[in-house]
Amino acid sequence: MKFELTILGSSSATPIYNRHPTAQVLNLRERLLLIDCGEGTQMQLARYRVRAHRISHIFISHLHGDHYLGLMGLLSSLHLQGRTSELHLYGQQDLMDILEMQLRLSNTTLRYNLIFHAVRHYLGGVIFEDDHMQVKSIVMNHRIPCTGFLFREKPRPRKLLINRIRQHGIPIEYFNRIKHGEDYTDENGNVIANDELSVPPPAPKSYAFCSDTLYDDSVASEVQGVDVLYHEATFTSDMQERATTTYHSTARQAAQLAKKAQVGKLLIGHFSARYRELAPLLREAREVFPETELAIEGRRFGI
């Protein structure tokens, strides 16, 4: 089952040096989730052969333009291409106010059902859940209301050992109970332990997206032990004062949080336009947390 992240944009504020504003696609068991939608996102989707019509959920962290200005264009293109399946959108209430104004002034009625879910930026918690995954919002510490997102795969059923099940002549109606960990008792009262009939599934995976924010210790507890953490790293440490003034983090701070949270891998992005080359940011982060990679355009990360 796939759990894969594709980076569409890694730049902060403006597109520059072939870097684009923030956007990512998470493939969770063949369900495509778009995280932020900066300017030009639909072009990046086409460039990296991500089928936009397969996106079922969009999550917008906050209302700085480099995180959402591509959204109206994407929604319009899906409309023009004849999309009919519903699309779920998560963000602050002001986001929907903006979209409704644009749709009204352009006299556009979308062909598909856009279902908006208002996210409370001041209170983290579960914002989506089904049989396969759970999504939580995380409170960020930014200049305007901002949320991060935590995506967790739910545990899968145990895998049946079909040959052993056949050897014991177990009826098919017991299969689901065995998948969920039950032992089997035959008609003579003999108990066959579950671990003789099935094996554990792979451990559930998790991905945390921490958008624009100051370094905040409280976030570490929210993302504790995740497999992959994305954390903004707009500046190097020599620009610490600038980072603090603009409510952003340095690469070193992103690595410090990853280390504190004991995550599996750290991805850094949202790079300032002052950096043509990104090696200094990567080097700084790896000094603190060696398992760090650059979240740059076109890279895919298995989770």
Helix or strand (DSSP H, E) at 46: helix 41-47
Instruction: Give me the half-sphere count of Cα atoms (radius 13 Å) on the Cβ side of residue 33.
Output: 22
- Cα atoms in the Cβ-side hemisphere of radius 13 Å centred on 142: 21
Tell how strand 147-153 and strand 87-91 pair up.
Answer: unpaired
**Lookup: tokens for 239:** 């620009």
Beta strands in 19-105 (DSSP E): 23-28, 31-37, 55-59, 87-91
The amino acid at 165: I
Question: How far from each other are the two terminal CA atoms of the chain, in whole angstroms?
Answer: 11
In angstroms, the Cα distances linking 99 to 96, 137, 285 are 5, 21, 37
The answer to whether the CB of 179 falls within 8 A of the CB of 160 is yes
Question: Cβ distance 164 to 122 under 8 Å?
Answer: no
Element (H, E) at 44: helix 41-47
Show which residues are catalytic.
66
Torsion sign (Cα): 43, 65, 59, 96? negative
- Please report, for residues 165, 197, 285, the alpha-carbon distance to residue 202 in angstroms, rounded to integers and kept in the order given: 21, 16, 30
